[in-house]
Structure 1
Amino acid sequence: MVDTPGLPARRAALRMMDAVLHRGETLEQAERGALRSINGPADRALARAIAAEVMRWLVDLDAMIDSATKKRLPDDAKPRSVLRLMLVQWLRFDTPPHAVIATALPLLTGGPRRLAHGVFSTLSKREVTLPEGPTPSDAVAMRWGDRAQDIMAALAVPPPLDLALRDHAETEKWAGELGGESLAPGHIRLPRGTPVDQLPGFEEGAWWVQDLAATLPARLLGAGEGRRVLDLCAAPGGKTLQLAAAGWTVTALDISERRLERLRNNLERTGLAAEIITADALTWQPAKQFDAILLDAPCTATGTCRRHPDVLHRIGQRQIHEMAELQQKLLARAVSWLPEGSTLVYAVCSLEEEEGEGQATNVPLRQKPVTQDELPTGLHPDSNGWLRTDPAMLPDAGGLDGFFIGRWVK
């Protein structure tokens, strides 16, 4: 039997949603299995987009569904999942209701199918609309406090594309050639949509993809002038590339050989050099000393919620606590390896206080505060001399990821 056109993409999206919400997988992990049988790039992209938008707007979609049912559907009920998918297509992708029904209802049979059809018809007749920005879950609102609403509002539209340049002196040149804008030396921001490998400068290695916020930890180490730096937990390697381009002699260490392969490819493409070591930082011992260590520690990555909205629903206190324990151990290792006079930069792409400020207060080194003149216009260090970014910052320029960054000298 031949599937209805578009049905395989919807089925794959449903599987990805289930993997995130019921098994705690990331969307990237979920798509490996869900998209295995889909060959067409358009259908693969559609499945990813549907699943991501459901994650982004989940709280609001569920509120709509609940408003149209006499008895609340269980969270794991298949009709609820299919209705989420249907509403996203209608409200976010402007798919006509009749096309939504034709491509989604075949995912259900019997009574559940009639139920979903009735609920969707009710909501479409009401002409319901989504709010200007996604609503946070109660858990997210509690953790992010006063910033939660502003952060969620910044998630309404997927983020632009940021590029980091190999040569900061060529910022004006590449901004013109790529048709982008620069928010800092060595940074270019472009609208979403253009395949990265088709952009000018890709083949010659003039740049790599890296969110503006993710470039800030390496920027805070300044020019290397041949000095030695350890990029700890380095993969996928954007900061290694930055440090090498800034004149540091870089050792990049990560536990994942698969993720380090991406770094090797980018080093080859850009013509930059770094020593790469595959090892567990909790057991590895350096054979030499470093003038600086950059620890961009493993974390919950809630600061990347613009691009990875699944973190809004699969991260809770257990995951935050587990990451904080690992970060504490990695920080202790990094501090023990620093010789006198060397610098440590600690960073996480997390919005959770336990992973950022909570770790920084326990670093037994002399703080070297982040200063205003080191940051792009519109960003400011806090009263402690640390830097905290979140997606609601730089709203007129397209925002940026959430990071915590601290710097110390031994």
Structure 2
Amino acid sequence: MCKKRGVSLKSLTLAPQNVAKAATHAVVCQTLKFLPVIQQLIAAVDLTGRHPQLTQATAAVLVYEVLFGEGVQSLGPAETAVLAAKAAVTKHLDRLLQAAGVVDARDLLAPASRQPESERPRHVRVNTIKMSVAEALQWLQCPPPAHRRLQSLGADVHVDDLLPDLLVFPPRTDLHAHPLVQNGSWVLQSKASCMPAHALAPESSWTVLDACAAPGNKTTHLAALLGPGFGKVLAFDKDARRLERLRAAATVAGAANVIAQQADFLALDLLAPEYGNVRGVLLDPSCSGSGTAFTRMDHLLPSHGSLGADALDPSFTDERVEALAQFQERALQHALVLPRLERLVYSTCSVYVRENEAVVKACLPFARQRGFSLVAPFPSWPRRGLPVLSEASCLVRTDPVLDGTDGFFVAVFERTAAST
């Protein structure tokens, strides 16, 4: 699965040791959104220079609260210093607004910072191993007596217009403690993350291989799509701790048809007899995770940079993205050697061309030798691949701003001829 080095903004602000996690997360995110403006104001009045006890981080949070938040009380020297500078800071903010010809400080922000995570709908995948979508909707309309307090959640929920097992709730709906999430009947999963398993569309009798499976949301989704027949999911991950998370997820989901094994996918002998019946592959390899920056809130960090021009520039790469892309190419070609493979989905949670269209383009000659062609999943989906290759219309992209979900990429290879 896609992962990034280090920790995310969410993991830092919502860490177990933090008191008032939700409030801390909200204030930090809002401060970071306004940080480019706040830094100008701090520098203009020399706030940290005049008050050595103020760090840049403390000053930024307090200035945000004074100007845009709930205000601060004079509890200590830091708060006192910021309150004393409020008039000067406000005056300089007025100058910035006047110079830009706007009246709201939000208009001074970059477009990405104006797109709050809280505006996104909340998506929930119904785990059809445990309940049907109709049963989920019925539960929402008329919860059991012990959960009648949750009945209001059913007032404004609908089934997604693309994915039939996905429920769409209003923004800011908190479902983490919902009993159906706790018992595995619902899975908190973004719409984009649910698209790869649907794109594979496995038949109920298939053996499906999930090549880089942990932590397991897509694995259990595959298990649910296979249904109660003879189909099974062979799930691999080389990290023992992540594999344990996958096994735990499969247990909670009731996915008894998942066989989880610790192994490096590239080291597997896919011509061995135990893989002779594999008909489908989901390959969601390690990637930059650039498409999940908005969900993780990492786009607000000053070190994150912009995803704009770099992401969509076919020539863009850096050392880490290039290394990931080369691994992705090896993994994709490796999967295509399975002797009875009929359909393969390659997906990433990246917005970078180098990890997406460029990987597909590099592997297409080998895929064609094996009898595979690109086919187009989700024909009604408007956002397709970028014109890096002639079959770009077969590829699927999701936009982290326009589509209300993570930035994802999906390519489907289907065997249409015999190997050459």
1:63-83, CA deviations, whole angstroms, 9 ceiling, x for partnerless residues?
Answer: 4545x246999xxx9733223
SS of 1:86's partner is helix
Give the whole-Å Cα distance in 2 for the aligned partners of 1:217 and 1:409: 14
Q: Is 1:259–2:262 an aligned residue pair?
A: no
CA contact (8 A) 1:241 1:267 kept: yes
1:15 is matched with: none
1:288 is matched with: 275
Q: State which of 2, 5, 8 in structure 2 corresponds to 1:26.
A: 8
2:344 is matched with: 344
Give the whole-Å Cα distance in 2 for the aligned partners of 1:118 and 1:44: 29
Give the whole-Å Cα distance in 1 for the aligned partners of 2:399 and 2:108: 15
SS of 1:196's partner is coil
1:10 is matched with: none
CA contact (8 A) 2:106 2:114 kept: no
CA contact (8 A) 1:91 1:130 kept: no
Q: CA deviation at 1:166?
A: 1.8
Aligned Cα root-mean-square deviation (Å): 3.5
What is the letter of the counterpart of residue 281 of structure 1?
A: F
Give the whole-Å Cα distance in 1 for the aligned partners of 2:234 and 2:85: 57
Count of equivalent residues: 348
Distance 1:389 1:90, change over 3 A: farther
Distance 1:90 1:343, change over 3 A: farther
Q: CA deviation at 1:205?
A: 2.5
1:386 is matched with: 395
Q: State which of 13, 21, 28 in structure 2 corresponds to 1:51.
A: 28
What is the letter of the counterpart of residue 25 of structure 2?
A: R
Computing the radius of gyration from Cα coordinates, the structure with the larger value is 2
Distance 1:119 1:332, change over 3 A: farther
Q: Is 1:182–2:195 an aligned residue pair?
A: no
Percentage identity across paired residues of the two chains: 24
1:171 is matched with: 133
- Normalising by structure 1, what TM-score? 0.72
Q: Is 1:95–2:94 an aligned residue pair?
A: no
Give the whole-Å Cα distance in 2 for the aligned partners of 1:282 and 1:185: 33
Give the whole-Å Cα distance in 2 for the aligned partners of 1:298 and 1:339: 24
Q: CA deviation at 1:246?
A: 0.7
What is the letter of the counterpart of residue 46 of structure 1?
A: A
1:66-120, CA deviations, whole angstroms, 9 ceiling, x for partnerless residues?
Answer: 5x246999xxx9733223323444566x312x34x648927xxxxxx95x66665
Q: Is 1:62–2:39 an aligned residue pair?
A: yes
- Normalising by structure 2, what TM-score? 0.70
- Alignment gaps of 5+ in structure 1: 1-19, 107-112, 136-148
Give the whole-Å Cα distance in 2 for the aligned partners of 1:235 and 1:134: 37
Q: Is 1:400–2:375 an aligned residue pair?
A: no
Q: Is 1:307–2:316 an aligned residue pair?
A: no
1:383-408, CA deviations, whole angstroms, 9 ceiling, x for partnerless residues?
Answer: 431001112224xxxx1110011111
1:272 is matched with: 255
Give the whole-Å Cα distance in 2 for the aligned partners of 1:210 and 1:379: 21
SS of 2:267's partner is coil
Distance 1:357 1:172, change over 3 A: same
Give the whole-Å Cα distance in 2 for the aligned partners of 1:381 and 1:387: 4
- Alignment gaps of 5+ in structure 2: 98-103, 141-152, 306-317, 386-391, 416-420
CA contact (8 A) 1:171 1:186 kept: yes
1:124-149, CA deviations, whole angstroms, 9 ceiling, x for partnerless residues?
Answer: 454675425951xxxxxxxxxxxxx4
1:239 is matched with: 218
1:284-335, CA deviations, whole angstroms, 9 ceiling, x for partnerless residues?
Answer: 4444132111111211112112221225655573432332233223223223
Q: CA deviation at 1:47?
A: 2.9
Q: CA deviation at 1:174?
A: 2.5
Give the whole-Å Cα distance in 1 for the aligned partners of 2:246 and 2:397: 26
2:196 is matched with: 217
Q: CA deviation at 1:370?
A: 1.8
Distance 1:238 1:123, change over 3 A: same
CA contact (8 A) 2:48 2:56 kept: no
1:20-77, CA deviations, whole angstroms, 9 ceiling, x for partnerless residues?
Answer: 9xx9643356469xx5654x4xx233333333444445444434545x246999xxx9
1:11 is matched with: none
Give the whole-Å Cα distance in 2 for the aligned partners of 1:315 and 1:264: 33
Q: CA deviation at 1:258?
A: 2.4
Q: Is 1:328–2:337 an aligned residue pair?
A: no
Matches within 5 A, 1:123-138: 123-124=89-90, 126=93, 129-131=104-106, 134-135=109-110
Give the whole-Å Cα distance in 1 for the aligned partners of 2:185 and 2:12: 32
CA contact (8 A) 1:390 1:400 kept: yes
What is the letter of the counterpart of residue 84 of structure 1?
A: A
Distance 1:235 1:58, change over 3 A: farther
Give the whole-Å Cα distance in 1 for the aligned partners of 2:118 and 2:38: 16
Q: Is 1:159–2:97 an aligned residue pair?
A: no
1:367 is matched with: 373
Q: Is 1:122–2:110 an aligned residue pair?
A: no
Give the whole-Å Cα distance in 1 for the aligned partners of 2:265 and 2:304: 24
Distance 1:197 1:315, change over 3 A: closer
